[in-house]
Amino acid sequence: MQRSCLAIVLAAGESTRMRSSVSKVLHPIAGRPMIAHVMDSLAAAGVTDAVLVVGRDGAAVAKAAQRTDMRIETVEQTERLGTGHAVLAAADIIARGYDDLLVVFGDTPLVTPAPLKEALEAIAAGSDVATIGFESANPGGYGRLIVEGGELIAIREAKDASEAERAITFCNGGLMAVDGRKALDLLRRISNKNAKGEYYLTDLVELARAAGGRAVAVRATEEELGGCNTRAELAFLEQLWQARRRQALMLSGVSMVAPETVFLAFDTQIAPDVLIEPNVVFGPGVRIERDAVIHAFSHLEGAHVESGASVGPYARLRPGAHLAENAKVGNFCEIKQAEIGAGAKVSHLSYIGDAFVGAETNIGAGTITCNYDGVNKHVTRIGAHAFIGSNTALVAPVAVGDGALVASGSVITEDVAADAVAFGRARQEVKPGRAPILRARYQAMKAERQKK
């Protein structure tokens, strides 16, 4: 029979050291609130019930944490009296009865499902408490996990540790699983008789052992248990997340020329055999198919690039951009809410928005779809195998048919039929011999101004 588990997510931080006007767990990692990353790992560990212990911005935190595959409730922690007190804010929900209790922090976005599962497995195997710890080369002020004979004896705060205990490199990560049948009794035994007058969750280890129970420690990496209290730590977590994701993509078959300069979003999808050049930024909602090339200094968000397509350098794909197979969007082009057909080319210095461009069509340099009239957006439709000359303005709503040619420098305000040629520019007029006369006039005007 599958065991029931309640995850308690501590998310009541005040963001004091973040110097922030919003709860720290709402700050993004890879374009997504850090608490959402934590909820992902809980779901992957098999958790289906969770309670958020919130403080400021409780409604916003609950919204950021919501999932369709998990029942999530919210309780408020009105006082800050330690981690044990925070967990007890959910006492009424714990009292419903769960096999396992899993306590995590909302500001550890790099935690993976593996140590969470291992801690729960330890409870299922008969332990009362399973603490998640990590090895550190510089344990410094971390609490130490004292393990003897395979059991966790105590968690010793650094300031209270002996010289021998300070030499221990196995450190407390703060995350913990507890036997759900004993959790409330143990939690209510936690005392605040300490220097800070707070209720520490770490006391559960010795309380469980004093009652004849067993405590163990499981291992995670130091990286995945890193919390966030300052903007500097937020930037460091972002750096670690990016490095982890880049590594996973490269191992899956994606080529990155300078991976440290590529920035990914939480949901970026890149297929094998894609080449990504330096200094590329992916916002949310991007999917890149096989054999595509993303050239340097490009920015993509909400875009789909199909197999063999080419983007950039210095291109911007905004939400709704869709490049079909072997399409090209070149340097200094911006594409927004537009379909670029198979083999079509928008090679340079163009803006294509709210548009449909047919297969094998060529869009000349400096072409603009004039899609906005100051109030409403309008659509431009360009057929297959068409040619749009350089420096053309297509004033939407307008359509250009298959195989049509539009002359350079045109302003197109009416539909162009298939296979037609359209000129939308003033007729050129040449005045032989007039240039010297005009130069003399301009020089005289300049001399007159200089006298004044």
194 is in an annotated binding site: no
Q: How far apart are CA 365 and CA 390, in angstroms?
A: 5
107 is in an annotated binding site: yes
372 is in an annotated binding site: yes
89 is in an annotated binding site: no
Plot region of 109 (φ>0 → left; ψ -120 to 50 → alpha; else → beta)? alpha
Antiparallel, parallel or unpaired: β 275-276 and 293-294: parallel
367 is in an annotated binding site: no
Plot region of 447 (φ>0 → left; ψ -120 to 50 → alpha; else → beta)? alpha
Q: Among 295, 348, 378, 385, which one carries the catalytic annotation?
A: 348
Q: How far apart are CA 186 and CA 184, in angstroms?
A: 5
Task: Of 126, 144, 125, give the one whose Cα is nearest residue 135.
Answer: 144
Sequence-distant (≥ 6) Cβ neighbours of residue 452 within 8 angstroms: none
Q: How far apart are CA 345 and CA 352, in angstroms?
A: 11
CA distances to 24, 28, 150, 239, 248 from 234, rounded to whole Å, are 9, 8, 35, 9, 21
450 is in an annotated binding site: no
71 is in an annotated binding site: no
31 is in an annotated binding site: no
Sequence-distant (≥ 6) Cβ neighbours of residue 185 within 8 angstroms: none
408 is in an annotated binding site: yes
Which residues on adjacent β-strands are paired with residue 28?
33
Length of the chain: 452
Task: Of 174, 183, 241, 339, give the one whose Cα is nearest residue 34.
Answer: 241
80 is in an annotated binding site: no
12 is in an annotated binding site: yes
Sequence-distant (≥ 6) Cβ neighbours of residue 20 within 8 angstroms: 27
151 is in an annotated binding site: no
429 is in an annotated binding site: no
Whether residue 348 lies in the annotated active site: yes
77 is in an annotated binding site: yes
Which residues on adjacent β-strands are paired with residue 363?
346, 388
Backbone phi, then psi, for 300, in 5-degree steps?
Answer: -125, 135
391 is in an annotated binding site: no
119 is in an annotated binding site: no
431 is in an annotated binding site: no
10 is in an annotated binding site: yes
83 is in an annotated binding site: yes
Q: How far apart are CA 423 and CA 420, in angstroms?
A: 10
336 is in an annotated binding site: yes
Q: How far apart are CA 345 and CA 364, in angstroms?
A: 8
Query: Is residue 198 classed exposed, middle or buried when 0-12, 13-18 and 19+ CB atoms within 10 A define those classes?
Result: middle
Sequence-distant (≥ 6) Cβ neighbours of residue 91 within 8 angstroms: 184, 187
Helix, strand, coil percent values for the chain (each to nearest 5): 25, 30, 45
172 is in an annotated binding site: yes
Q: How far apart are CA 138 and CA 158, in angstroms?
A: 12
Q: Which residues are annotated as a binding site for UDP-N-acetyl-alpha-D-glucosamine?
A: 10-13, 24, 77, 82-83, 143, 157, 172, 229, 318, 336, 351, 362
Q: Which residues are annotated as a binding site for Mg(2+)?
A: 107, 229
Q: Which residues are annotated as a binding site?
A: 10-13, 24, 77, 82-83, 107, 143, 157, 172, 229, 318, 336, 351, 362, 365, 371-372, 390, 408, 425
Which residues have a catalytic role annotated? Answer: 348
Q: Which residues are annotated as a binding site for acetyl-CoA?
A: 365, 371-372, 390, 408, 425
